[in-house]
Amino acid sequence: MRRRNFFSRFNNWFVFILFTVVVTTLVFALTILINYLKKEEIKRIDLLANAIKYQQDVVAPDPLVQDLVLQIYTSNQTIPVIITDKNGRPIDHRNLPRNIENDTKKIQELAVKMSRTYPPIELKFPSGNNQFVYFDNSLLLNNLQYSPYILGVLIFLYLIFSFWFLRTVKKTDEGYVWAGLAKETAHQIGTPLSSMIGWIEILRMENQNSEGVKEIEKDINRLRTISERFSKIGSVPELNDLNLNETVQQNFNYLRTRISSKVEFTLRMPKGEILIPHNRILLSWVIENLVKNAVDAMKGLGKLEIQMYEKNKNVIIDFRDSGSGMNGSQARNVFKPGFSTKKRGWGLGLSLAKRVMKEYHKGDIKVAQTEVGKGTVFRITMKS
């Protein structure tokens, strides 16, 4: 069990670290790529501008040099370029959208728009007929401009994943603590319980019909049941299609004789059988916890009703007491481990009961209704 738990936690950490490395690498790589492409495109435009200026400055350029300049100019297949005179009239252009290639006015408007991204490169000539080279990002670089938004989404997803991961790890660790605590408790109870069983057999041999022996035997059987409950925490319990009416009735009969006689304890159930998969030992534990909490809230005096009914394909069991009730903060925290409204309470019973219902029976427990000074309704919900 411990080995399996170790590997489970190791896998969680491995996924978390892997996701962190992937996101960090992606962010870093995209940033480097964008900066690299920008620098390379600016270098290419500078080279193009110098080539054009050299060609214009030389009176009788070498044919080989002219051919090299032409190759530099035509090799640009991606970066939009517009060359204008000093008055802004287009002289030449390259890699512009086809729908504006022959429209002088739109080319001039595009040049103005390009100047907002990068300042134009001025080509100064002795004649004074200076030219200007306007350019913009290539289509690839423009597409990469959306990368910050993509990174934002990735980071957002990363934060959500981190939050989920931390919650999962915390719940997993809590689960190991609960399971270990429960099994250790079962072990500790089991040792003196075995001795008590032996002593009760000796007492029975001396006086078989003793009422005291019979009562002690009942309590020993009860301790045995409690030990079984704790031993099942952390393992997969066996769920059987048992009659839920019978389970609730048995617990009601047992608890009715063990709570204060000043509590008006009633049970209301449907007449027909309700067959639903459940573990009788664990569900009895849940019912007992809710009943004892209700009795404590009433300080041993008041009304407690258990009502079971079917609604919307669910089986619902309400525990309605006339106790002190809870305020909003208490109702929100009542199922948290360690929370208790009692001075000597450990705050474990309701937390364990909720875990039993959610993890083993795919059901739930919640505070359906509460009001300070008027009482509380705890509700168990199970799928029928």
Q: Which domain holds residue 310?
A: 239-383
Domain for residue 150, yes or no? Answer: no
pLDDT for 13-47, tens place per residue? 666 677 667 767 777 777 787 777 888 888 888 87
Residue 47: count other Cβ atoms within 10 Å of its Cβ: 14
Q: Does 244 lie in the same domain as 128? A: no
Domain for residue 181, yes or no? Answer: no
Place of tokens 């608890």: 255
Q: Does 244 lie in the same domain as 139? A: no
What confidence score (pLDDT) does residue 49 get? 78
Domain count, the chain: 2
Q: Does 124 lie in the same domain as 256? A: no
What confidence score (pLDDT) does residue 182 get? 56
Q: Report d(CA 233, CA 176) in Å as an integer.
A: 10
Contact 304, 298 (CB under 8 A): yes
Which domain-ending residue is among 87, 117, 144?
A: 144
What confidence score (pLDDT) does residue 1 get? 41
Average pLDDT per block of 10 residues along the chain, 384 residues long: 46 65 72 79 81 64 65 79 89 87 89 89 83 86 70 68 60 53 54 58 64 66 64 62 89 89 94 88 88 90 95 94 92 81 65 85 93 94 90
What confidence score (pLDDT) does residue 44 get? 81
Q: Does 243 lie in the same domain as 377? A: yes
Domain for residue 211, yes or no? Answer: no
Which domain-ending residue is among 117, 144, 171?
A: 144
Which domain-ending residue is among 115, 144, 173?
A: 144
Q: Does 243 lie in the same domain as 356? A: yes
What confidence score (pLDDT) does residue 371 get? 93
What confidence score (pLDDT) does residue 5 get? 46
Q: Does 276 lie in the same domain as 140? A: no
CATH of the domain at 74: 3.30.450
What confidence score (pLDDT) does residue 4 get? 44
Residue 133: count other Cβ atoms within 10 Å of its Cβ: 23
Q: What DSSP line would sit under 244-284, residue for residue?
A: HHHHHHHHHHHHHTTS-TTEEEEEE--SS--EEEE-HHHHH
Relative to beta strand 302-311, strand 263-268 is parallel
Domain for residue 349, yes or no? Answer: yes
Q: What is the pTM of this model?
A: 0.47
Q: Does 246 lie in the same domain as 132? A: no
Q: Does 253 lie in the same domain as 133? A: no
Q: Does 123 lie in the same domain as 16? A: yes
Indicate the DSSP class of residue 363. -
Domain for residue 301, yes or no? Answer: yes
CATH of the domain at 363: 3.30.565.10
- How far is CA 53 from each of CA 45, 115, 134, 197, 253, rounded to the nearest angstrom? 12, 20, 14, 107, 103
CA 256 from centroid of its chain's CA atoms: 42
Domain for residue 204, yes or no? Answer: no
